[in-house]
Structures are given as structure tokens and as C-alpha cells.
Amino acid sequence: MLSARSLFQEILDNDESFQLFCSVAASGEAQGGWENGRIAALVPDTMRDLAPKITRHGADEDKHGRLFRALLRKRDLKEVEVPLELDYTLLLERAGIGLAHSKLRADETLTEEDIVVYLSHSRVTEQRAADQMDMLVTYFGDHPEAGKPIKMICQDEENHLAYCHEELLRLAALGHGRTIQRTLRECVRVEIKVYRDVSLAVMDRMGRVLGWPAHKSALLSTGIRLMYLYERLGGWRKAVTLTMPERRGALDGPATAGEAA
């Protein structure tokens, strides 16, 4: 029977597919760590109170990258280059989601609107990350190899999502509400398309690695397209709604050290 659990079990059990899965994840986390680090360094003086939280966010992303690389080392596997069509974070940046890398490399102080846009984009992408990690914990939280790092990353993603909600609501109260809502809606329209395209590319690559029959690949492809249709017709609202989280000050304090997987 085809299920999310059986699908990911196949990927985890095969060295080549596991190598690709961890490499894709590590690459995305590394990019997120770099982006947050640069944003923290360029925060405008009027928003310097956010710098430690953005730094913590980046440190968490760097930690996640190390955890995925540690999983590769435990199997004596090396990180492989991620094909462009599988690079979710890079494709989002190229589509205009997140602050442009050219701006982050320029060493010029960001504007308040830049920070509002950054947090709005993070709200959307962290929802995706939190949902994915929650699913992995549900199915593989007790996995002897991947369970512990997956749980650690899931907790961090929940913190990141809570931080985005709290800070965006605070900024909305300071007069940035219209910019936040406009940016959230613009971002989610692009994100669901990029996620669909990357998901199709990942499943195509995994299918070739694992030797899936044509009917299985077709079924998975149909499922991905149906999920995109659901998100386009209304599922997107989950990623743009703002509610004050129960977990307040989720990114206060330093990042926790990630233990070797």
C-alpha cells in the first residue's frame, strides 16, 4: 500500500536516495543560515532588538545542516551537489521570495520594510517546514538513525514559526499591517508553485533511483498536483493567517547545540 510512511521508508533505506534527501535538506538549511546571518548584520538601527532573534534563527538553520551532514557521515556517505530543480530555497530566491542575495551581499543597512518583507516570507516558508517536520516526526520520530535529529529540528521549526507570528503581529500593531498582508499573499502564491515543482522533481529523481514502476510515479505525481490544487483553492490561507502563539519569545536566548546524529 502506498503511503507517506512507506514512501519515506523506501528513501531512508536506500543509500543513494538517502544521500540525495540529506544533501537537499543540508543545502537548504545552509542557505537559510547564511541569509539570516546577513540579515541580522544589516538590520536597521530602529529594529536592532530583532537582531539577536534573527541571529538565533540563522544559528538554528546552520545546526540543522550539521545534523543532516552527520546522518550522511554515519553511513559513510558524502554530501552531493543539489540539482537546481530540487533546490527549493534557491528557486524561491530566484522567484523573488526572500531578500535578494545581491542586497544581502552589499553591506548596506536594510530598511524597515525589508525586515517586514523578510519576516512575512519567513512566515510562509516556516509553515511549510514545520508541517513537513511534524509529518516526519509522526512517522519516524522513533527511527533509530533519524528519529533524534528529526525531533530536534521539528522543535526548532515550531519555534521559528511562533517567532514569525509574534513579531509580525507586533509590527502590524506598529502600522505595518497592510504591507504584511500584501506580502504574505504575494509570497504564498509563489511558494505553493515552487513547492509543487520541486516536489515533482524530487519524486521523479527518487523514482529513478529506486526503480519505481511508471504507475507508482504517476500516482505520486497526481497526488502532488492535487495537493497544489487544494492549496491554490484555499489551503494557502493557513500560511498567511497570524495568531499570537502560546510559545512567546520562542527565539530569545542562544541557539541550542546540535548533538551528532
pLDDT of 87-111, one tens digit each? Answer: 999 999 999 998 999 999 998 999 9
pLDDT tens profile 6-47: 888 999 999 999 999 999 999 999 999 999 999 999 999 999
pLDDT digit string, tens, across residues 149-163: 999 999 999 999 999
Neighbour tally for 247: CB within 10 Å: 13
In this prediction, residue 4 carries a pLDDT of 81
- The amino acid at residue 130 is A
pLDDT above 90 as % of the chain: 89
For the cut 50, the answer to whether the pLDDT of residue 136 exceeds it is: yes
User: At the topology level of CATH, where does 4-239 sit?
Assistant: Ferritin (1.20.1260)
How many alpha carbons fall within 13 Å on the CB side of residue 185? 6
pLDDT number for residue 261: 40
Long-range CB contacts (< 8 A, 24+ apart) of 40-45? 42/104, 42/107, 42/108, 42/109, 42/110, 43/109, 43/110, 43/115, 44/109, 44/110, 44/111, 44/112, 44/115, 45/109
∠ CA(235), CA(237), CA(240), 5° rounding? 140
Contacts of 160 (CB under 8 A, 6+ apart): 57, 60, 122, 126, 129, 130, 250, 251
What does the domain layout of the chain look like in residue ranges? 4-239
Q: What would the 3-class secondary structure string for 144-180 be? A: CCCHHHHHHHHHHHHHHHHHHHHHHHHHHHHHHHHHH
Instruction: Kindly indicate the confidence band of residue 145, based on its pLDDT and cuts at 50, 70 and 90.
Output: confident
